[in-house]
Structure 1
Amino acid sequence: MPRNTSVRIGPVDTWRWLGPVLLVLAAATVLVGVLAGPVAVLRSLGFGLADSALTVVVVGPLLAVALWRRPGALRVVAVLAVLIACSRWAHGLPRVFGAELEYNWQGKTVELLWLVALFLALWPWAREEAGLGLRLKPGWRPAGWVVVGLFAGFALLFLWNLADAGAPPDPMDTERLLFDLGHPNLVEELLVHGAMLAVLDRACGTPWRFLGADVGWGLVLTSLWFGLWHGLVLDADGFVVEPVAILSTGLVGLLLGWVRLRSGSVWLAYAGHCAIELGQDVGVMTWAVLGGNVPLG
């Protein structure tokens, strides 16, 4: 029988992507270790692995239901666990580059590099299934309008809240604006709604229809992980659980996952991610200008 060329070789089919990914992470770890010391690196890696295990265990029951009696279920779990561990590894390294800054640019940059290594190693799969291609699905326009609505809605909502609270017209923090516009949001989308969603949709299928998009357990599980990573944290500073953050960001993850599936593009999901945060930033800058202050500080 002829081979089905529509099914691309993905992370579950081969481990050849793991070498380049580990090479990137190892190089970053050695560089950070030289500057921060091996003890600090080993401690951070320990917390990173523990945090990875925690999120896998919390989602474990639903993951077991989704993969019940499906071929290659254990391999799917292993791939997801490795992706999560690599993410925590990158973010958990001691900050030696940009340590004086408020946001973890170093961790986000290391994560971007290992994700690039993953997608280059499996480019046909990345382009066709993980949503990195530039071609949008027919009927993508509702997803595009959602992105526009998110930007406008959050800008107006934030401006309204600032006015209602009588907040001082403080300028927008420049670093925060750059963080919201740059690659930090991109790496979240590439990992969650690119790689992880593609792996789960291949394994579990997309048997349901949700607002014009074919969805499945992948959307449910990635939305839950998206929420947990913003509200369930285990690191050197301790164990933090924020139910409101888990719920709110989980719902945002659900919406961005829908944008990704309806449009077929992780880039549009990234635009939606930026639209939420940039809308808030524009609200702050508008309030600053209306109050006679400069928009950026």
Structure 2
Amino acid sequence: MPHDLPLATPPPVPVAAPVRAPGLVEAILTILAYFALQVGFGVGFKLGTDLLARWFPDAMPDAPDRIILVVMATVALSTWLVVHGVLRRWGPLARSGDALGLGFREPDGQFIAIGAGLGIAAAILGGLLTQWLAGDRAVSQTVTEIADKAHLGMRMALVPVAVLVGPLVEEVLFRGALLARLRVRLGDGWAIAISSVIFGAVHLPDLGWLWYAVPNLILVGVFCGWLRVRSGSIWPAYVAHAANNGLAVMAWFSATAAG
């Protein structure tokens, strides 16, 4: 009889392969690529603006103002390329708050407040630490030395780049890609410590190789790494980083006005 025929078995449902995050080597190479992009774009934009100033001297701003334009364009373009690439490469893990994820998820409001407080605390404590280590020696960054000679409007235009754009790409790289891989290999404590030391060390060229300015940045890295691990989100660390930079910018403007 027809109804006695065996039922056809349904086709097997394919099982999706688990999402794999990039490895530690790729995370480190991504950080190196970001700084290489900064060098490449910086040199290219600098040469371009110098040529335009030579061809159209009356239409181009003075050299210090042009340098700020170069810095702004370099950081903005490098940030977009790196953040876009990292988010695409991590795929679904970008929104994960787990150890392998980048943490692009909404955090609890309390961690945003904690992040703001830790960012301000890092700026104050780090500044005191730097002063103690430096003694009578001056501490400054290459960008601020150049910007001191620029017009006020150009210095104001640099503020969003220093406070909002720079912290974004650095958090994605150090508290996102690098910290994620180190957490899996070494655990949270060592991952925060090592990523913080690397974060401080890579700023040495911009600090004129003044080692006594690095512990300040390591402290920022520790606070941001702790926030990323405890909150499961990258945004509290970003808020802390932005608050720290914002306070530093306020101090820079105050020193410039006093001078």
Taking only aligned residues, the RMSD between alpha carbons, in angstroms, comes to: 3.8
Question: Hey, which of these two has a bigger chunk of helix by percent?
Answer: 2
Q: Alignment partner for residue 144 of structure 1, among 89, 110, 113?
A: 113
Q: How many residues align?
A: 196
The Cα of 1:88 is off from its aligned counterpart by 2.4
Match of 1:194 in 2: 176
8 Å Cα contact 1:8-1:125 kept in structure 2 = yes
Shift in alpha-carbon separation, 1:146–1:84, aligned structure 2, 3 A:
closer
CA distance in structure 2 between the aligned counterparts of 1:281 and 1:175, rounded to whole angstroms? 12
Q: CA deviation at 1:174?
A: 0.4
Report deviation, 1:151: 3.5
User: Are residue 185 (structure 1) and residue 167 (structure 2) matched?
Assistant: yes
* Deviation of 1:132 (Å): 1.2
- Matches of 1:97 and 1:116, distance apart in 2: 21
Instruction: Please name the residue that 2:88 is paired with.
Output: 120
More displaced stretch, 172-181 vs 189-198: 172-181
Matched to 2:202, the amino acid is W
Aligned to 2:233: 265
TM-score, normalised via structure 1 length: 0.54
Shift of 1:107: 3.5
Show the counterpart of 1:241.
Answer: 209
Which residue does the alignment assign to 2:52?
A: none
Larger Cα Rg: Structure 1 or Structure 2?
2
Structure 2: runs of 5 or more not aligned: 1-14, 50-65, 132-150
More strand by share: 1
Pair 1:82 & 2:48 matched:
no
Q: Tell me, which stretches of 5 or more residues in structure 1 are unaligned?
A: 13-75, 162-169, 207-214, 234-238, 292-297
Residue 163 of structure 2 aligns to which amino acid in structure 1?
L
Deviation at residue 183 of structure 1 after TM alignment = 1.3
Q: Does 1:218 align with 2:177?
A: no
CA contact (8 A) 1:91 1:111 kept: no
Rounded Cα–Cα distance in structure 1 between residues aligned with 2:32 and 2:123: 32
Of all paired residues, the percent bearing the same amino acid is: 21
- Show the counterpart of 1:101: 67
Structure 1 letter corresponding to 2:191: G
**TM-score (norm. length: structure 2):** 0.62
Distance 1:286 1:247, change over 3 A: closer
